[in-house]
Structure formats: C-alpha cells, structure tokens
Amino acid sequence: MFRRISLFLFTVSFILFSGCGDKEELERETLEPSPLPVTASVASIDVLYEVISSTGRVSSRRTQTLTAQIQGQIVQAPEYEGEEFSEGEVIFRVASGQHASNLSAANSEYRNAQALYQFEIDNYRGEITDGVRSMLRQTTGLEAASASLSSARTQYGNSAVAAGFNGVISDVTAQDGMTVYPGSPLGTLVDPWSLQVEVNLDERQLARCTPGLKAFVIIPSLNDTVLVGEVRSVSPVIDPSFRSGTVVVDVPHIPNLRPGATARTEIVFAEHEGSLVIPEQAVLIRDDRPMVFAVTDGHADWRYVTLGPAGRGFVSVTDGITEGETVITSGHYSLAHDAPVAVVN
C-alpha cells in the first residue's frame, strides 16, 4: 500500500515539474521576438564624388543635312537607313540634262577661246608681258570662257550630294525617281562614333561647371550602363527665359549606343578621397538629427552620426560610425534600438 502511494506522489510531482518547465520555455519563446529581415551595407573608405545631376540626350558631334542643289530627278539614293558612307562618297545623285548640256557647251567654248588665245600669243609682234597676256585673254574671250566653264562644272557637280565625313544615313526623305528642287531635304548624315550628351543646367549649377570636369553618364536603355565622359563645353551665356545654359559632355562610343538615347548625367565638381562612406538610404532623421542603425551582435544599434559631403547615392560620415561596421539600408524605418535583426542581402 505504501509503495503505491509513493509511486502516485512521484508521478504527480514529475508531471507538475514537467509542466512548469514547458511553461517557462514557452514564455521565453514568447518574450524573444523573431529577427526582422533587413538589408545592410558595410561602411568603407572610398572616394566620394559631389555631382550635379541632370538628364539629357545622346547626340552626334557631327551631322550633315543633305539637300538638293539643283532641280531634277533622283537617280541614286541610299538603299536603307543606317547605310554607311565614307567621306567623299556620293549618297544622292540628281539627273539634270540641262546642266550636262551646259557643261558640254562651256567646254567647247573654252577650247575655241584657248585656241584663239594661243594663236594671238604666237603671232604677237612685241614683248609678251603679263599685261599683254591679260589683254589677250580678254580680247579672245578666254577669260569669259574660263568663268563660264567653272560655273558649268559647279552646277553639274551639284547633281551629286556627297558625304562630308564617315557616317551613316538617317531621316531619308528622297527615293529613286522623285523630282527634287534646290533646297529639297534628302536626308541626314550622322557620325555614330563621335557622341556627346547635352544637358541643360540652371545658372547656379552652371557656375560650378568648367570644361575638363569628369562626368558619369548612365544609359537606361543599356541596362544602366555607366560611361565616364568629360565636359567639353559650357554655355557662355544664360537663356533669360529659363535661367539655364547648355553643357556638352563627350562620351565614348559603345555598341548599341545611338544618338537620341536618354542619358542621366552626373558632373563631378568635387572629389573627396579617403572618405568613410555609407549609402544615403541608411540615414534616417530622428529628433531632427541624422542617425543610422548599425548591426551589433544581431541587434539594431541606434547611432547618431555627423555627416559630410554626399553624392552619387553615398554620404560621408565623420563621426558615429567606423570603417567595417555594418549599417542597415532598408527595413529600418520602424526599427527600435536593440531590436533583433537578420541581414538578408
């Protein structure tokens, strides 16, 4: 009987103690919240660039507007837009029978006048001076015939519209068989290998720009490819209507970069080497003071910081953070000090 009672009491005690342990463990699990997922970046020493940001368009440094110089019919034209032409190569040709006839007549007149001039020279009695030669050119009609031949050659030559530099044809408006007149637009020759970006800056930004400054050019259509260019020119005057001026940045050619593409431009007006930098999105404002959350032993550590110059998505820190520390860049807007976090970069 005594053994049964002892066994019963032992069993009850075991159950009670076991239940208390489970309860304490459950309470501990309830009190310790799950870590909040955040992204983070490591503070590092780097060059910080202060920049002027603006959006512009890629353009060609050389373009040639092609127009007809005479009236006639197009007998030669590019086969397709984008066709390449070398400097001096004929792009369009305009047929005009009248100009060909005028050239033939001018050639014949010139030969006759030259023959008469040579006859007079051979039979001239006296010393042949420069004055005599000039007089004979006038009296034999050679001077007038020479001028007529030069004019006829120019008019005939205007039937061919040639490339002024190596480039590709675009904006073609004339095709074989079309009748054109002097001044009729034919197309545009573009140099796709010499590119630039034009941006408009307000007068305060313009005052910080000088030729030779480095510029970062981001091309959205090419997966945000970043090119390093150089400021070539800064407008010497300000447009009074918009209080702005134009800055031109030379950029290198890369495959598939075309005139007309959008370009985000960041012109560097100051460089700070050896700066301790963090992403700008890491900085929050609390109590009207800049602060960041550093990650310390898996917890968010509230730090007030002193900031320096900023640019290109980064800001320099002069106090509050040291090199190599990890700062939270997203998921931190509602964080509290010492909250458990898990970096999920």
Instruction: Determine the pLDDT at residue 86.
Output: 96
CB 267 within 8 A of CB 212: no
CB 178 within 8 A of CB 164: no
Instruction: Determine the pLDDT at residue 7.
Output: 44
Instruction: Determine the pLDDT at residue 304.
Output: 96
Instruction: Determine the pLDDT at residue 299.
Output: 95
pTM over 0.95: no
H/E segment holding residue 302 = strand 299-304
Q: Which of helix, strand or coil describes residue 217?
A: strand
Please check whether the domain covering 63-96+159-190 is classified as CATH 1.20.1260.10. Answer: no
Residues of the chain with pLDDT under 70: 1-32, 96-100, 103, 153-158
Instruction: Determine the pLDDT at residue 37.
Output: 94
Instruction: Determine the pLDDT at residue 131.
Output: 86
Instruction: Determine the pLDDT at residue 104.
Output: 73
Rounded Cα–Cα distance for residues 108 and 84 (Å): 39
Instruction: Determine the pLDDT at residue 167.
Output: 96
Q: Where are the alpha helices (DSSP H) in the chain?
A: 2-31, 97-122, 130-139, 142-157, 203-206
Amino acid of residue 95:
A
Q: List, in sequence order, every residue forming a beta bridge with 247; answer none if it has no partner.
A: 199, 234
CATH class of 35-61+194-345: mainly beta
Instruction: Determine the pLDDT at residue 130.
Output: 87
Rounded Cα–Cα distance for residues 214 and 227 (Å): 11
Annotate 323-343 with b (16+ C-beta within 10 A) or e (fewer): eebbbbbebbeebeeebebeb
Instruction: Determine the pLDDT at residue 15.
Output: 43
